[in-house]
Amino acid sequence: MHTPTRNSFTGLYRSQGMATDGLNHIGDIDYHNGIIYASLDSTSGYTKPHVALFNASDLSYTGKSFELGGTPANPNKDLASWVAVDAKRGFGYGKQWQDGNTINVYKLSNFSFSHTLTLDKSLDRIQGAKVVGDWLYMASDNDAQLIYRSNLLTGAVEEVLRLPQPPGALEMEGLALRGGANGALDMYVEQVVDPDRSGQSLTNPNLHLALYHYQLAAVPEPATYAMPLAGVGLLAVRRRQRLRAWAAPFRRTVPGPAAGRHRSAARRRRRRPLPTAARPSRHRPAWSAGAAAPTSAAPTACSIWPACRACPATPR
């Protein structure tokens, strides 16, 4: 294991020969595939943003470091407060410490500037960030000590939680996340606490670091919403098909515009109106088949004839 020099805050890279550029500030780091990605800058103006690569096994310097660049609006001012690795997409992320609504996106191979991701909300004082799926979780050292997350596909920003605020001066630092049971996330957040506000000198006996552990419930990513929705749609289609199949024996199929000619003779007979004399009336009993029809125009069983206009035998 590599042992840093006595000044442990800067010993990680001073002992590896990287102090020649005045890089005396380490921001939040990230890890991927055996390599530690460390964000470095100079406290003299914070205009020398770099990312240096170290071997996680012994903290030895790999000999690779890259200078970070930003947009023309902010090419180098305070861009290395943190670095986040997105190995799935082949990107690295960073953001200016000042208030802003953009994330700088770098190519992971050499940290050359690629493009920006626009957020739907301005954020400031971001001290650390990590990528989980399609989300970038960020720790903000603002007055509320907030944890945010931003969707890497849409730029939508959500508030995740707020850290406790014990008495004294507080400073949010970095955060780390790892997958837990049943898809949950274990999140660890650092917070420097100066209870008597005497400064963050290592000689301050009351200065301490608070480490908070949260377990976040699993939340489906937007990219996975399509699968459940497609499943619901497929079930609806199958249900409709089954209903159609069940109702087929009871449905009268009309095959085209000439269907009227193909109806059965029985159906056509049902639709044909009966002769007037053959229509049964509630005022005249219908005679049985084969019986002779009455010869008189007046039905013998009708007591109100000829006043009834509904009777077919009523004179018109």
Whole-angstrom distance, CA of residue 50 vs CA of residue 59: 17
Collapsed DSSP state (helix, strand, coil) of residue 193: strand
Instruction: Return the CATH number of 8-163, one of 2.120.10.80, 3.30.750.24, 3.90.1150.10, 2.160.10.10.
Output: 2.120.10.80
Q: What is the mean pLDDT of residues 19-34?
A: 86
Whole-angstrom distance, CA of residue 237 vs CA of residue 241: 6
Position 34 scores a pLDDT of 97
Confidence tier at 123 by pLDDT (50, 70, 90) = very high
Whole-angstrom distance, CA of residue 5 vs CA of residue 163: 33
Whole-structure pTM value: 0.67
DSSP characters for 10-68? Answer: HHHHHTTT-GGGT--EE-B-EEETTEEEEEEE-TTTS---EEEEEETTT--EEEEEEE-
Residue closest to 189 by CA, chosen among 143, 219, 147? 147
pLDDT higher than threshold 50 for residue 94:
yes
Residue closest to 119 by CA, chosen among 83, 78, 149? 149
Residue 185 CB-density burial (10 A; 0-12 exposed, 13-18 middle, 19+ buried): buried
Rounded alpha-carbon distances, angstroms, from residue 239 to 242, 244, 248, 301? 5, 9, 14, 58
Position 16 scores a pLDDT of 52
Domain coordinates of the chain in residue numbers? 8-163
- pLDDT tens, residue by residue, 257-315: 555 555 555 555 555 555 555 555 554 444 444 455 455 444 455 555 555 555 555 55
